[in-house]
Amino acid sequence: MTAGGMPANAPALEDVDISIFPETLDIALQPRPHGAPLERLRPLWHEPPVLPRFGVTVTSRSGRPRIVRMQLRSEAEHWNPGWVKWSLPTRVVPELLGGDAVSAQDVLLEGDTQLHLLLLPGETREVPLEFRTFLDGQSVPGDYLFDLVATDISDGSRCVTTAMVKLRHPLSDYEAYLPSIYSDELTALQEASPDEQGAPFFRRYLRGFDDAAVPMRETLDNLHRFFDAYQTPPDFLPWLATWVGIVLDDNWPEMKRRRLVREAVELYRWRGTRRGLARYLEIYAGVRPEINDKPFRGMRLGPQTRLGVDLSDPSRLHENTVLGDVPDHSFVVTIAVPDPAAVNEQTIRDIIEVQKPAHTAYVARIVRRAPDAFAQPQTEDA
């Protein structure tokens, strides 16, 4: 731990050791992420950007808890405090400690540029310190020496640890493809003027082509997402549906269309069965339908009736007349939803027409589900 630069009027923060790794961090300035085209992919999970970072280790050798304020200071001319981004660390102990009061927990302040860190007796904390520097016209390349000042907020005692961050303009990938006469000249100019402020014009000119190619490279690096039904852009989804032989209905909500494309192959395997029809309707309606191919039995007249039955022939008694029976190869589909008006009956019928066997007939019923009806009807595979 380096104590140089500590204010003379502040007592030393004893029994606390602070180290930074690495001591020097090299950062190549890149354009700020613009969100296209990856923003259009809208992945189901969030991928936080990976920023250049230091690792800060803080160890307490004290017998009492401390709350230490962590902040960075620099006398460099173009230093920007907004570059700094602290993150809340994870305490590696068997159980949560530190008390119930908000003041006795880790807290981020000043737009994440300061951190109040809780140190328990004998505890070691590891804190990530990130730098948000971009090629935005405000982050000036150069070497920036800074102090990490740790202050005990209870008594004002301090300690200082020094490190350095170096901001550089990135080299163009196209320099590797230049003829040697040009690449040697660029190397000689760089050696003659190591300060990035004096970088030759041609080197900065080549960087423009790299920046223009960033969207294309991001698309190619994430090309696999375009072929995932849950991550592909909305305007790419209809074309992806043609891969599985589906013409999407624009009236369907987007997420239901994505789910249909995702499960299309499985639905083809069960087409014409109760299982396939039930799953297709569930994707659209959001509830599992009840499919009954034996909905009810007609009213049967007993053996003493005389409606077209010859009682003299006992072997034909089972042919008694049946009133109101359902024809063979017929079924009834019942969909119980909280709001029947929100379900398009024509869409339901279109789905059934496509999924049912050609020789069958059906009756579709959309009914209101009781508020306490949490269980979904069970259907058997056929």
Q: How far is CA 45 from CA 217, 229, 231, 262, 364, in A?
A: 21, 14, 10, 17, 38
Please tell me whether residues 30 and 133 are part of one structural domain: yes
Please tell me whether residues 37 and 156 are part of one structural domain: yes
Q: Is 344 exposed, middle or buried (0-12, 13-18, 19+ CB in 10 A)?
A: middle
Please tell me whether residues 34 and 157 are part of one structural domain: yes
CA–CA gap between residue 160 and residue 71 (Å, rounded): 10
Query: Residue 40: which H helix or E strand, with range?
Result: helix 38-41
The confidence score (pLDDT) of residue 27 equals 92
Please tell me whether residues 67 and 133 are part of one structural domain: yes
Range of the domain at 75: 16-168
The confidence score (pLDDT) of residue 88 equals 85
Query: Does 321 fall in a domain?
Result: yes
Please tell me whether residues 97 and 157 are part of one structural domain: yes
The confidence score (pLDDT) of residue 5 equals 43
Bridge partners, residue 57, by sequence = 19, 126
Please tell me whether residues 284 and 208 are part of one structural domain: no
Residue ending a domain, among 224, 255, 288, is 224
- Tally of structural domains, the chain: 3
Query: Does 193 fall in a domain?
Result: yes
Query: Does 217 fall in a domain?
Result: yes
The confidence score (pLDDT) of residue 31 equals 75
Task: Write the CB contacts of 287 (distance below 8 Å, at least 6 apart in sequence).
Answer: 335, 336, 337, 369, 376
Neighbour tally for 34: CB within 10 Å: 11
Please tell me whether residues 215 and 315 are part of one structural domain: no
Q: Is the pTM of this model over 0.75?
A: no
Q: How far is CA 24 from CA 53, 59, 145, in A?
A: 10, 21, 9
Query: Does 230 fall in a domain?
Result: no
Residue ending a domain, among 168, 203, 236, is 168
Query: Does 25 fall in a domain?
Result: yes
Please state whether 357 falls in left (phi above 0), alpha (psi between -120 and 50) or beta: beta
The confidence score (pLDDT) of residue 311 equals 55
Query: Does 80 fall in a domain?
Result: yes
Please tell me whether residues 321 and 183 are part of one structural domain: no
CA–CA gap between residue 115 and residue 73 (Å, rounded): 14
Please tell me whether residues 21 and 163 are part of one structural domain: yes
Please tell me whether residues 152 and 178 are part of one structural domain: no
Query: Residue 72: which H helix or E strand, with range?
Result: strand 66-73
Task: Write the CB contacts of 172 (distance below 8 Å, at least 6 apart in sequence).
Answer: 203, 206, 207, 209, 210
Residue ending a domain, among 136, 152, 168, is 168
Please tell me whether residues 345 and 207 are part of one structural domain: no
Strands 158-168 and 142-152: antiparallel
Residues of the chain scoring pLDDT < 50: 1-6, 36-44, 93-95, 100-102, 197-198, 374, 377-382
The confidence score (pLDDT) of residue 313 equals 60
